[in-house]
């Protein structure tokens, strides 16, 4: 989910309307910013580096995003949109599946998302926000919204009934665990242990959810 390319080149499309060209340039800049964050971290992701990767001038980049903080806050919003799109795709893919197989597919899909390049890019920005005051308030506000959306979609994917005591906390615990898997995967390939943890959490969630008669 969320593949990052090695270089994002803005297409030369002189026949496109100006507004469409502007939107295309903006998207290429955001994709380049996400890729730079995932690969080089905050320190190595300057506006100039992002602009070069996107195939545009630094001036063009600053026309869309006057400051570095503007660029990377927008990049995190872009990551959030991509994550939401991935979760919607997971919803479509798992809709025909029922019972424990569905729970496992959902847990595995969310864990995969949290160990992919989109999560790594978001993590780099979180680390930067912890030390960059101008960035912190923007990222905190954004992550509150993103966290709510991811939780809502996880509830929908799992068919969870949060009116049942303990269900909300169990779903949130699962999401926290998935982010932890993403952190563990940064330094080493943790796939073998991750498979066991995913299987355990799928069984745990199924035990919590299925007594309510949900398939």
Residues 6+ apart with CB under 8 A from 103: 158, 202, 205, 206, 209
If asked whether residues 54 and 93 sit together in one domain, one would say no
Both 154 and 111 in a single domain?
yes
Question: Do 133 and 178 reside in the same domain of the chain?
Answer: yes
Residue 1 lies in a domain: no
Give the residue from 66, 89, 109 where a domain finishes: 66
Length of the chain measured in residues? 215
Same domain, 62 and 77: no
Helix (H, G, I), strand (E, B) or coil at 98: coil
Query: Angle at CA 72, nearest 5°, toward 38 and 181?
Result: 40
Closest listed residue to residue 77, CA positions, set 4, 7, 11, 139: 139
Q: Using the structure block, give the residue that is written with the tokens 């998935």.
A: 178
Q: Which domain holds residue 43?
A: 6-66
Q: How many domains does the chain have?
A: 2
Query: Cα separation of 26 and 137, whole Å?
Result: 23
The reply to whether 94 and 176 lie within a common domain is yes
Looking at 49, 66, 83, which one is the last position of a domain? 66
pLDDT in tens, 129-160: 888 777 788 788 888 888 899 999 999 999 99
CATH of the domain at 34: 1.10.10
pTM, rounded to two decimals: 0.76
For 36-65, b/e burial (b = at least 16 CB within 10 A) is bbbbebbeebebeebbbbbbbeeebbbebb
Identify whether 190 is part of a domain. yes
Judge whether 194 lies within some domain: yes
Residues 100 and 136 in one domain: yes
Max intra-chain CA distance, the chain? 60
Are 163 and 172 in contact, with CB atoms under 8 Å apart?
no
Q: Where on the phi/psi map is residue 159: left (φ > 0), alpha (ψ -120 to 50), or beta?
A: left
The owner of tokens 């991750």 is 194
pLDDT tens readout for residues 101-136: 999 999 999 999 888 888 887 888 788 888 877 778
User: Could you tell me which of 52, 207, 72, 55 has the C-alpha nearest to residue 126?
Assistant: 72
Please check whether residue 16 lies inside any domain of the structure.
Answer: yes
**pLDDT, tens digit (0-9, with 9 covering 90-100), for 54-71:** 999 999 999 999 999 899
């Amino acid at each position: 989910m969320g593949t990052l390319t090695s270089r994002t080149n803005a297409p030369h499309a002189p026949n496109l309307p100006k507004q469409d060209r502007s939107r295309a340039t903006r998207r290429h800049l955001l994709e380049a910013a996400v890729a730079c964050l995932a690969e080089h971290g905050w320190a190595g992701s300057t506006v100039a580096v992002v602009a070069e990767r996107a195939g545009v001038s630094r001036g063009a980049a600053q026309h869309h995003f006057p400051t570095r903080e503007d660029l990377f806050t927008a990049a995190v919003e872009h990551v959030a949109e991509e994550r939401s799109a991935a979760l919607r795709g997971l919803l479509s893919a798992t809709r025909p599946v029922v019972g424990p197989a569905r729970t496992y597919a959902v847990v595995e899909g969310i864990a995969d998302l949290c160990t992919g390049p989109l999560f790594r890019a978001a993590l780099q920005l979180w680390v930067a926000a912890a030390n960059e005051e101008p960035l912190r308030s923007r990222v905190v506000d954004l992550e509150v919204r993103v966290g709510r959306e991811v939780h809502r979609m996880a509830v929908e994917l799992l068919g969870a009934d949060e009116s049942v005591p303990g269900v909300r906390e169990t779903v949130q615990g699962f999401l926290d665990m998935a982010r932890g898997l993403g952190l563990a995967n940064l330094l080493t390939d943790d796939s073998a242990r991750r498979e066991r943890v995913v299987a355990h959490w799928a069984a745990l969630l199924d035990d919590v959810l299925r007594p309510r008669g949900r398939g």
